[in-house]
Structure 1
């Protein structure tokens, strides 16, 4: 059977104009809201990096305790991400994302009551449990709305919210921890968890009424727009050829595990920067929490620009391999310079910015790679599987850095190890991912 012959015909000039208008509507309807949710998720995930500046002294926690607590979040991811994405495929995005958002908001608030390492570990694990499925769920969700050639830009716009969360989160954390310290007898870090958790709970309620599960349910698209978008998606599925649909067969696909390895290398660097960058800035002589917040804000603004520009260029050139690998290499180079010149603010601070820009810019285009050979249930489970297993690097790298700092008094050897791991991203891609220009 000639599968290509059964595909919808390419759109006419008039239909192309309507299709462009439809995708513009989709982007403006979905991306800002999803990005806002990701900002809240990211702030609630990483505010521990700012809370650390006060709470470690208040609770007499070591860097090793902090590193384990920061990273144990990703164990929750590991155990619950695949079931969450399969549930999204079954019950839809609205219910799944509502559950996730309300859950992580409540756990974020609960962190204000931490007094022991055991409580700290438990709540960080539960934060990962509740947030599990959000990030890969959105990746899957966007494949319901965009064909392959439009996804890297959509992914980049959505994922740049994590960088924008850094732009917002740094100064916000500095303001809360400085301005609210000792109000009602609570420390600044306790107010941080409370005031940053409440908006997530409220956003979860809004999600149920705002999101649309799939294009055919979109009342805000005309019938013609829905028809053309669905036809465009069907053509896209056809031009990619035969891909794996079965979950169990996808697990046996070595390409899945190759994707895990590649993303593991990127996440090792990303999680290290996420949880320790404020501490690295403080170590360069910037002791004011507010000042550290503004410095991190500027760095993450550059990271957001890098993600968007790299995703856009990837779409235009129809190339994802090198856009991911070279960005990761840039991030690795920045990390290595920070490790070697950690006593020189003039060198280490710009290098830290390069590390953040390179590392974050690699992430959106990476997610083009698995979509070339997965679809349906395999995509739902495969994307979650890749993210959950690779994010074990998010558990291991921060823990390792905390142990290294506790035992040696410096982050140097730990940062160099992470830089080497991230640099492997490009080598693995060049060795094992063939060139492919999607239609």
Structure 2
């Protein structure tokens, strides 16, 4: 029976995960291409580093305000329709960034992009809960969040090439072409999602009746372990808020990298946009390898806490290296690689936790609440680094501050969560058998 279940889960994964990963790759193109556009648009629009940091942060303000409503709507209308809507509208808003010509317009469109993308990541986490048991989600999440590393590998050279070779074509700057060309795929993929995904197991025409029954029974046995079903349960559960604080630290760490990596590489003495794009591939390539190996190790051993703590401490170490050796390209890339690998891997491990204590509407609303509070890290980290850079001429103190935030997150993971939450999966596995 176990062999049949594994075969079925592989079949489901091959059907769903590649498409969702592709969507996430494109999502990160649209979310962080501003870090490359900055290399040209900042001087053309006369933006200070603090103004750029604030604009990057405005995305997360819109995101966190509409996160919970978005995910509650997703439960009502279905993940397929809502994820498709998110992608079509965020792709349109991302392409519209090419028309920015004032600081105010920059802020407004970044805010709107956050509003329209709100709900995507927690929506996908909720969708995975409907299709995969907990013992598989560490690996599934690793593939999903590995897409952010893949977007860095592909997106860096792509962005650098677009900005270098299309700059001035038809009277448009390279950064304008960047927003246009990276917004269109989101719209196309949104239509593909609508046509390909299924909300429920019973709707999947690509599964046999016996496979639908087996998968439904597998998930039903697992859900008996949980007790939280309504959004009020999520609000009353103190673990929800502890997870939110931890996630805030993770978001501060990862978005500090995403929004400032090209600028840090440039400051180290690399001016050509394509060269910068190629250099930024290296940390993401390291992260792509690391996230698969770490996720596989965590799933194999069933241990989550110390895997997650180690990943967050790697983020801390990487930031310290970047802040200390910011003028040395080789050491900077090593620091970025350590931080990027640790922090992207930590996202995959972290998102195994919320579904363990929240199910049903509590899962949809609770996951959205955790993600919303966590996005505050994306609000302050980019702006803080930009502000510090304006005041001191160096981003080092801002990077040290983010390293400290990572340290606090590691302490909360190690000692702020109930010990049994780290091992619920093993109980579920034994119960199911």
Normalising to structure 2: TM-score of the pair?
0.96
Deviations 1:360-380 (A, max 9, x none): 111111011122211110000
Q: Does 1:395 align with 2:379?
A: yes
Question: Deviation string for 1:401-437 (max 9, x for gaps)?
Answer: 1111111110011100000101112211121221432
Q: Give 1:8's aligned residue.
A: none
| Structure 1, unaligned runs of 5 or more | 1-14
| Alignment match of 1:190 (pick from 164, 176, 185) | 176
Is 1:352 aligned with 2:333? no
Instruction: Tell whether the 8 Å contact from 2:283 to 2:333 is kept in structure 1 after alignment.
Output: no
Runs of 4+ in 1 over 3 A off after TM superposition: none
Listed as ranges, the matches of 1:83-102 within 5 Å are 83-102=69-88
The DSSP-based 3-state class of the residue aligned with 2:297 is helix
CA positional deviation for 1:243: 2.3
Match of 1:111 among 87, 97, 101: 97
- 1:420 correspondence with 2:404: yes
Larger deviation, residues 345-354 vs 217-226: 345-354
Write out per-residue CA displacement over residues 131-177 of structure 1, whole angstroms, 9 at most, x where no aligned residue. 10011100110010011100110111111111100011000001110
Q: For 1:198 and 1:393, how far apart are their aligned partners in 2?
A: 28
Q: Pairwise mapping of residues 24-423 of structure 1 onto structure 2 (< 5 A)?
A: 24-238=10-224, 241-423=225-407
Confirm or deny: 8 A CA contact 1:321 1:366 kept in the other structure. Answer: no
Q: Which residue of 1 aligns with 2:430?
A: none
CA distance in 1, matches of 2:45, 2:317: 35
RMSD over aligned Cα atoms:
1.0
Once residues 374 and 200 of structure 1 are traced to their aligned partners in structure 2, the CA distance between those partners, rounded to angstroms, is 30
CA distance in 2, matches of 1:69, 1:374: 34
Q: Is the 8 A contact 1:85 1:137 kept in 2?
A: yes
Q: How many residues align?
A: 423
Q: Deviations over 1:29-61 (max 9, x none)?
A: 000000000111110010000000000011111
Q: Deviations over 1:199-243 (max 9, x none)?
A: 1111111111111112121111111111111111111112xx342
CA contact (8 A) 2:226 2:356 kept: no
Q: CA deviation at 1:109?
A: 0.7
Aligned to 2:431: none
- TM-score (norm: length of structure 1): 0.95
Q: Is the 8 A contact 2:251 2:378 kept in 1?
A: yes
